[in-house]
Structure 1
Amino acid sequence: MKTFFAILVFLASLGYVNASSFFPADTTFHYQNRMVVIREQPDEINVSVYRCNEAGDTIRSNKIYEGIFTDNKSVERRYENRFDIFVPDIFKPKEKRKVAASHWAGFGIGFSNLPNGFDFDGEIAS
């Protein structure tokens, strides 16, 4: 009976050692409000960077960077998670439109304002 348990413990430990070589542990660390995950496979290394909020919670879908490095090549991707569309005011309802500000009817070059021709005597032309 002792021999049976000894063999069973030996086989279980052998399976654990064998499985740990197939599934290497991933490395995860936090640096300046970012979470960096490094996954190592036999032929490549995958580095992913995620953004964390102020509370320290990680938003997994908010990936910033991913890099896949192999012996022959490397692929790097940067993710922008915003999608802004500019809508001109003419297509907005009248109550949401901004009041149009009048524009200045002159021409300026640097600090020189030229609405009435060239006036470079140190005064602003009017």
Structure 2
Amino acid sequence: MSASHDQRPLDPAGDGSPRDPVADITAAVQRCARGDRAAIAELYDRTCGLVYGLARAGTSTDAGAAQVTTRIYARVWRDSVGFRRERTCALAWLLRITSEEIARCVDPTEGAPR
């Protein structure tokens, strides 16, 4: 690997400071817990590719993935008050919810949404 290759996260603020995507996700979840509606939109924007991709793989249809993804973010909004960063990483918490909702919404014999 070249010594000139910079592996710091992108600098969306433009101030030269590296960003920690996991810290940003954690902050958004904590803001959701305080009822900040903009935070769920931010969390969605930061994580929807991953969440939708997992939902699509689990449901095998775009419609099923969209339905499951909606359920996931509704649950994140509802359950964010119980999130404790000292217990788990926010991204791991989101992925656990994603896994649980995919399992809840998919017919195990067909891979289709229930």
Give your verdict on TM over 0.5. Answer: no
TM-score by length of 2: 0.20
Higher strand share: 1
Higher helix share: 2
TM-score by length of 1: 0.19
